[in-house]
Structure 1
Amino acid sequence: MNNMNRILVFLVILLITSSCGIQAKLNRDFKGESIEEVTEAFADLDPSKIRMPNGYTKIIYTKEDRLEGTTISQGTNTLDPIHSPSVTKVEQFIFIVDENGVVISTEYESSYKRL
């Protein structure tokens, strides 16, 4: 169980560092741009749209990838290797768009679901 906690901590650290980089890229590439730019960049994903009370629209693109389990090496003196479980990585790219179709805010969320 201790090794499983190490794996989870590693995944959380990986998630935090990757989400910061992607968030910065989303802000740099799309903030202030028209929603058409976003639509072109995420052409392979279907968006879900949520109308907000202030007149803005939240547009969410969701991407899911299946990550296979793998054996984690613990060195040469260990008899029982650790196998990480298969998971589905769920990434959400969230855009807040004003009434004129201009991106005013971006957000990135990532999570893992065990299979």
Structure 2
Amino acid sequence: MGVSLDKKEIYRALETITVPGEGGNMVATGAVRNLQVFGDEVVVDITIKNPSLQARKKTEVSILQAIHKEVYAKAKITVNVTVEAATPPRVAPIKGKAIPGI
């Protein structure tokens, strides 16, 4: 009989991880978009706002470590990291003379 992991436990493990540059935990910030469990396999779809490769790697490693430590050491985990870059507000070009000193 294979191991069957509990989604609630996985969510609890994900709550221990802070989203890079966002402050809150992955579950509270809504970064975890989808979580699927098939026996001992876990698929986590996560969306972060930080586009750097370092942030994506850190997020992925944090998830693997948290689930392995908190839930099941031999879990097979797939992490799909999507970057949702915050769209910069559209700024109208400034017309007129530049103000000296700014």
With the length of structure 2 as denominator, give the TM-score of the two structures.
0.30
Judging by fraction of residues, say which structure has more strand: 1
Judging by fraction of residues, say which structure has more helix: 1
